[in-house]
Amino acid sequence: MPTSANIEDLLRRLSRANIFKDREKLRPDYLPENLPHRENQILRLAEILLSPIARGARPSNVFIYGYTGTGKTAVTKHVLKWLERKWGYNNTSTLETFLYSRSDVVRVITTIVNCRTENTNYRILRALLGVLGVEVPFTGLSVAELYDRFIEVLEKNESLFVVALDEIDQLIDKSGDELLYRLTRINSELTRSKVTIIGITNSLNLRDYLDPRVKSSLGEEELVFPPYNALELEDILKERAELAFQPGVLDPGVISLCASLAAREHGDARRALDLLRVAGEIAEREGAQKVTENHVKLALKDIEKDKTVEVIRTLPLHSKLVLISVYLLWKQGISASTGEVYDMYCRLVQRINLDPLTQRRVSDIISELDMIGLVQAKLMSKGRYGRTKYITLAIPEKAMLEGIKDDSRLSAFV
């Protein structure tokens, strides 16, 4: 329980802290001026888009692959923005740009839609119409109606519309590839305008799910983003750290530690930045003058704990009960056998008036929990006294309690 003295103390430390200059610069949605080690991808995407525009033609559709945190979204935004800035005509809307080529004027409009938030056909069309200045109601119209309006307003605009669909796999999971199919075919319905689609995904096998027709038209050009290695991550972090932190507050080694930790997990720049930011925040809370490697280690634990809690929270009920059984036995100092865990589990289940699963199933659940690292199960043979797994809790008690605290039935057990 925080007392007022605690809070005073915290406030005093925070006001004294002088760690961050601008922590927003470490957020994943911040778009930096420079994208180190993505020069090739930027160039390639710019080339794909620009050279046809200069000839007055429609650029090919592009499919962009790469793991999370490899800079796909940032590069796309960067290129679209660059298009505007370089050829922008001091336009009222920042999303629109005029591009002169030879004699005729081509009007280019760009947008990027995140399919995680706009994850239905309706909502995406609605977002696209919004960019073109047409407001439609949240609901009430049919998708076909929106589509018709979309065509209509596009024709009126006489423009090239470059649409980037970020996290496109989310859309396909939820609503299939019908809209995608229509969008890739839309140019045959248009005479005075053109549409170019950029599909962005981190799912490398997404192609297998796609309608082959969508696959071929969306994949006219493909761009693959390789993961960053530790050195590249270091460059990225250095640049951001300069913007985000006060000069000299980072201990030497902090950045390279963040980079190497993140590089271990498929070179995810977002994770590296998170690590650095959380380390900074921990240092700030402590009232420290500097961010040290130790802060990074604490940050790693923090981030991992959050992940663990989330994993527990989303576990099915019976898996949670098994986990709690292991926890209770562990608290009594018992490294429990499968049989003991099963007994404990049966008692818990009875107390909330449910039918227990069979031991066979519980044995599988234990293996699953072992696999995701919540418990540790070691197979032991006690000769005459049988063969069993010895199961212990593999996570901090705090994370365990945090993970079950919002289910009152379960939290009553601990």
Partner DNA sequence: CTTCCACAGGAACCAGCGGACC
Partner DNA sequence: GGTCCGCTGGTTCCTGTGGAAG
Give residues with Cβ within 8 angstroms of 196, minimum separation 6.
49, 58, 59, 60, 61, 62, 160, 161, 162, 163
Q: Of 70, 184, 325, 338, which one interacts with DNA (CB under 7 A)? A: 338
Nearest to 161 by CA among 98, 108, 210: 108
CB of 196 to DNA, least distance (A): 28
* Alpha-carbon gap, residue 87 to 108, rounded angstroms: 10
CB of 345 to DNA, least distance (A): 12
Q: Are 269 and 71 in contact (CB under 8 A)?
A: yes
Mark residues 169-208: x for contact with DNA by CB under 7 A, - for none. Answer: -------x--------------------------------
* Alpha-carbon gap, residue 328 to 320, rounded angstroms: 12
Angle, in degrees to the nearest 10, between helices 39-54 and 72-87: 40
Q: Where are the beta strands (DSSP E) in 278-330?
A: none
Counting residues that bind DNA (by CB under 7 A) gives 29
- Rank residues 189 and 370 by Cβ distance to DNA and give the closer one: 370
Would you count residue 92 as binding DNA (CB under 7 A)?
no
* Alpha-carbon gap, residue 341 to 346, rounded angstroms: 9
Q: Report residue 321 as tokens.
A: 């009960």
CB of 305 to DNA, least distance (A): 25
* Alpha-carbon gap, residue 181 to 212, rounded angstroms: 10
- Rank residues 91 and 350 by Cβ distance to DNA and give the closer one: 350
| Positions 261 through 280 that interact with DNA (CB under 7 A) | none
Neighbouring CB atoms inside 10 A of 117's CB total: 12
- Rank residues 85 and 387 by Cβ distance to DNA and give the closer one: 387
Q: Which 8-state DSSP code applies to residue 374? A: S
- Rank residues 55 and 213 by Cβ distance to DNA and give the closer one: 213
CB of 171 to DNA, least distance (A): 14
CB of 366 to DNA, least distance (A): 6
42 DSSP β-pair partners: none
Q: Are 132 and 153 in contact (CB under 8 A)?
A: yes
CB of 355 to DNA, least distance (A): 7
| Positions 352 through 391 that interact with DNA (CB under 7 A) | 355-361, 363-367, 379, 381-389
- Rank residues 161 and 342 by Cβ distance to DNA and give the closer one: 342
Q: Of 130, 253, 316, 396, which one interacts with DNA (CB under 7 A)? A: 316
What sign has the CA pseudo-torsion 338, 341, 345, 347? positive
Q: Report residue 151 as tokens.
A: 């065509």
Give residues with Cβ within 8 angstroms of 231, minimum separation 6.
259
CB of 412 to DNA, least distance (A): 21
* Alpha-carbon gap, residue 277 to 342, rounded angstroms: 43
- Rank residues 56 and 176 by Cβ distance to DNA and give the closer one: 176
- Rank residues 263 and 365 by Cβ distance to DNA and give the closer one: 365
CB of 98 to DNA, least distance (A): 42
CB of 372 to DNA, least distance (A): 13
- Rank residues 185 and 361 by Cβ distance to DNA and give the closer one: 361
CB of 65 to DNA, least distance (A): 23
- Rank residues 302 and 340 by Cβ distance to DNA and give the closer one: 340
Q: Of 111, 340, 401, 409, which one interacts with DNA (CB under 7 A)? A: 340
156-219-63-76 Cα dihedral, nearest 10 degrees: -50
Phi, psi of 55 (to 5 degrees): -90, 0
- Rank residues 291 and 366 by Cβ distance to DNA and give the closer one: 366
- The edge-to-edge listing of strands for the beta sheet with 159-166 is 96-101, 104-114, 159-166, 194-201, 62-66, 221-225
Q: Are 346 and 359 in contact (CB under 8 A)?
A: no
CB of 361 to DNA, least distance (A): 3
Q: Which residues bind DNA (CB under 7 A)?
A: 176, 316, 318, 337-340, 355-361, 363-367, 379, 381-389
